[in-house]
Amino acid sequence: MREPTSPTPVDIHSDAFLARMMRDQLKLSIACALCFVVALVALPLLNYFQPAFMAQRIFGFTLTWLILGVLFFPFVWVISYVFIKRSIALENAEAQAAQDGQTK
Partner 1 sequence: MNTLLLATEATKGIDPWIAICSLATVAITVGMGFWTAGKSKSAGDFFVAGRSVSVGWNASAISGEYLSAASFMGVAGMVMATGYDALWYPVCYACGYLFLLLFIAGPLRRFGAYTIPDFAEGRYDSPMFRKIAVCFVLFIGFFYTMPQMKGAGTTLAYIFPGLPYWAGVVVVGAVITLNVSLGGMKGITLVQAFQYWLKVFAITVPIFVLASLVGHYQQHLAANKTSQETVAAAPAGIERKALPAKAPKDEAWIAPFGKLTTKALDASIVAAKTPEAKAELEANKKPYSLLYTYSLIIALVCGTAGLPHILVRFYTNPDGVAAKRTTMWVMILIGVFYVFPPVYGVIGRSLTPELYDAVGAKGTDKVVLELPTLLAGRDHPLLGSILSGITCAGAFAAFMSTFSGLLVSMSSALAHDIYGRMLKPGASPEQRLKAFKWSALIVGLVAVGLGSQVEALEINFMVGQAFAIAAASYFPLLFMSVWWRGMTMRGAATGMLVGGLSALASITLTSISDVAVAKAKKIADAAELSAYWADHPLAKTIADYWVAHPLARILCEQPAIWAVPLSIILMIVVSKATEATVPADVRMKMLVLHAPEALGLKQEYIKEHEGLGGH
Residues that bind partner 1 (CB under 8 A): 1-6, 8, 12-13, 15, 18, 21-22, 25-26, 29, 32-33, 36, 40-41, 44-45, 47-48, 51-52, 54-57, 59-62, 64-65, 68-70, 72-74, 76-77, 79-81, 83-84, 87-88, 91-92, 94-95, 98-99
β-bridge mates for residue 57, sequence order:
62
Of 48 and 104, CB closest to partner 1: 48
What minimum distance in Å lies between the beta carbon of 28 and partner 1?
8
Q: Verify cis geometry, omega within 30 degrees of 0, for the bond prior to 7.
A: yes
Question: From CA 84, how far away is CA 34, in angstroms rounded?
Answer: 16
What minimum distance in Å lies between the beta carbon of 43 and partner 1?
9
Q: At what angle do helices 15-49 and 72-103 cross, to 10 degrees?
A: 170
What minimum distance in Å lies between the beta carbon of 84 and partner 1?
5
